[in-house]
Amino acid sequence: MKHTKIYGIALIIGTLGGIITMVFHPTGHDLLNQPDEIARRNELIATAVHVLAIISLPITFFGLLGFCRRLGLANPLVSLGLIVYGFGSIALMSAAVLSGLVGPVLTRKILEADEATKKILSAILRSNYELNQGFDKIFVVATVVAFILWSILLLKKSRFMQLTAILGFIIGVLSLVGVFSGHLRMDIHGFGAFIFAQSVWLILVAIFMIRGESRD
């Protein structure tokens, strides 16, 4: 297939965007329990990294579209995986909007409000956080389901992609167990660990695309 390198490069760019987002992602403490100057700086960082995450999503999806074309979109497992991943990406976009575009506005209002208003805004911020957590869980589950579906087909390809498939199964099973058991928390550490794990898998797929392997 033509242009496989373009899709691979897109995957790497999109993946790096996600990694940068998690590395510089501020916490609630960074926004609410800091001197005003530092809090304002952290608000800008929170908005910037989440905008980066939102931009990275269609870039990653574009790369995965090329990957799925490479595998064969006519295959039900391939097309289902792409649809499920796209569904998860919409959930992650929603989470990024809540965390990066809504959250900092609420924390700023809380810092500047009187005590009565703070209680109301704090309750809204808590609801915003819970919605964010829910969308993150949808993204994690959708992503690993897609990885598992694609990995089934990768077992039939080159040795390199067989190893990638095994990694996909491991990430998928551990993530699903973690989410449904409650051990994989959707905080900066738990969700960050998942982002780094999925990034490894996506970069391996990107290498496959850039190399243009044809050994099926």
Look at residue 213 in the predicted model and tell me its pLDDT: 57
The rounded distance, in Å, linking the Cα atoms of 29 and 199 is 27
Burial classification of residue 29, based on how many CB atoms lie within 10 Å of its CB (0-12 exposed, 13-18 middle, 19 or more buried):
exposed
The rounded distance, in Å, linking the Cα atoms of 157 and 159 is 7
CA 189 to chain centre: 13
Look at residue 113 in the predicted model and tell me its pLDDT: 84
The rounded distance, in Å, linking the Cα atoms of 91 and 97 is 10
- The 10s digit of each residue's pLDDT in 148-202 is 999 999 998 889 999 999 999 999 999 999 999 999 999 888 999 999 999 999 9
Whether the per-residue pLDDT at 215 is higher than 80: the answer is: no
Burial classification of residue 130, based on how many CB atoms lie within 10 Å of its CB (0-12 exposed, 13-18 middle, 19 or more buried):
exposed
User: What predicted TM-score, i.e. pTM, was given to this entire model?
Assistant: 0.90
Whether the per-residue pLDDT at 214 is higher than 80: the answer is: no
Count of other CB atoms within 10 angstroms of residue 156: 11
Tokens of 17: 């965007």
> How far are the Cα atoms of 106, 109, 118 from residue 114, in angstroms, in the given order?
14, 10, 6
- The 10s digit of each residue's pLDDT in 53-66 is 999 999 999 999 99
Q: What angle do CA 187, 136, 179 make, to 5 degrees?
A: 75
- The 10s digit of each residue's pLDDT in 20-56 is 999 988 877 677 777 777 888 888 898 999 999 999 9
How many helices (H) and strands (E) are present in the chain, helices listed first?
A: 8, 0
Burial classification of residue 181, based on how many CB atoms lie within 10 Å of its CB (0-12 exposed, 13-18 middle, 19 or more buried):
exposed
The rounded distance, in Å, linking the Cα atoms of 15 and 160 is 20
Look at residue 216 in the predicted model and tell me its pLDDT: 44
8 A C-beta contact, residue 77 and residue 150: yes
